[in-house]
Structure 1
Amino acid sequence: MSTRNILLAAGSALAMSALATGAFAAGSVSTTATASVTVLSPVTIVKVQDLVFGQVVRPSNANTNTVTLDTSDTVTVTGTGNGSMVASATSSAKFTITAPAATTYTTTQGLTFTAAGLTNIGPSLPVAQTGTLGTIPVGGSQGITYGGHFDMNASTPAQAYTGTLAVTINYN
């Protein structure tokens, strides 16, 4: 073979390899991935029972009493005032939180009364009726209970007080 033929053959081989490389660069490939989603029910909170302090007698002396309703429905009157509890119906507030099991949450709460006169008003911290507070147990619901407190003195108006215990569930 002559040098000319060798050069032509080498040039042709080089041109063919360039065309082959170009063929590999053009075209398309594809694949797929599995898609999934789990749709959960929304977190809900429902009031089961209202917060009822019952009836109390304000102190007649110049001192203050604190009225406390605990989460087991017991009202106590403490302090240096001579106020007292009257035998009457009482109840702690009860709520049911519904969410997927193992959902974690925190709460914020506030207690207010519409009429002026009571002071140092506040809710207790919640207590879980089942499981661990802050984690929804297997079954998807957890009851929580609240008490509360307020102060009264001789100048507290004698009247019926109504208000609101507002509870917010902050879930993760």
Structure 2
Amino acid sequence: MGTMWGHRSRRAALACALLSAALGGGQAQAQTETAVAKAITLRPLSIVKLRDLEFGNLIAGPAAGTVTIDADDDSRSTTGGVGAAGGAPQAAQFYTYGGPRQFIYVTRGPLPVLTRAGGGATMNVSQLTLNGATFRYLDDAGILDLRVGGQLNVGANQMAGEYSGSFTITVTYF
């Protein structure tokens, strides 16, 4: 057995010598490669209000009517005995933040009732509308520009004054 191991050892030594010669003599060679360690932390979904829903200045006539603010382009339209009288009508605007291309669901709370400052009268918002679907994706940066329009019911000879009320928007992410 001593001879057999000796014979194998000589073959191994010869293979090492040939490999060493092929690699450039007796110099050892090494190469280095770099890998990147990565992690993604998602910020919790958040929503920030940028502006309120404004129906603008209105003139209430002897007949009831409605005022509608379009969620897509802030345009205002009126029906019935309601006239538009300036102001700055606009849809409410929110930015929602989350992960890139994150799937979300947008819901609203109860429809608001606008109450006159000092009391004495109210007006109901009969609908709130979004500038898109209730199910959608955030953009590649994880942001969505969410706008909310609505329709306000104005009574016949509605009492003059400043009216306000609030509503909630909830964004759920998956």
Considering the TM-score relative to the shorter chain, is it more than 0.5?
yes
Determine the structure 1 residue equivalent to 2:151: 149
Question: Cα distance, 1:38 vs. partner?
Answer: 5.3
**How many matched pairs?**
129
Question: Cα distance, 1:155 vs. partner?
Answer: 4.8
Structure 1: runs of 5+ lacking an equivalent: 1-36
Counterpart amino acid of residue 101 in structure 1: P
Question: Is the 1:67–1:151 Cα contact (8 Å) retained in structure 2?
Answer: yes
Larger CA Rg, structure 1 vs 2: 1
Closer, same or farther in 2 for the Cα pair 1:103/1:90, shift >3 Å? same
Question: Is the 2:108–2:170 Cα contact (8 Å) retained in structure 1?
Answer: yes
Cα deviations by residue, 1:84-119 (Å, 9 ceiling, x for unpaired): 000221221111111001211111114413514213
Determine the structure 2 residue equivalent to 1:94: 93
Higher strand share: 2
**Could you state the TM-score of these two structures normalised by the residue count of structure 1?**
0.66
* Runs of 4+ residues deviating >6 angstroms: none
Is 1:135 the equivalent of 2:137? yes
Determine the structure 1 residue equivalent to 2:173: 171
RMSD: 2.3
Question: Is the 1:123–1:165 Cα contact (8 Å) retained in structure 2?
Answer: no
- Within 5 Å, give how 1:70-109 maps onto structure 2: 70-71=70-71, 72-79=73-80, 82-109=81-108
**Could you state the TM-score of these two structures normalised by the residue count of structure 2?**
0.66
Of 107-116 and 51-60, more deviation after overlay is shown by 107-116
Q: Secondary structure at the match of 1:164?
A: coil
Structure 2: runs of 5+ lacking an equivalent: 1-38, 116-120
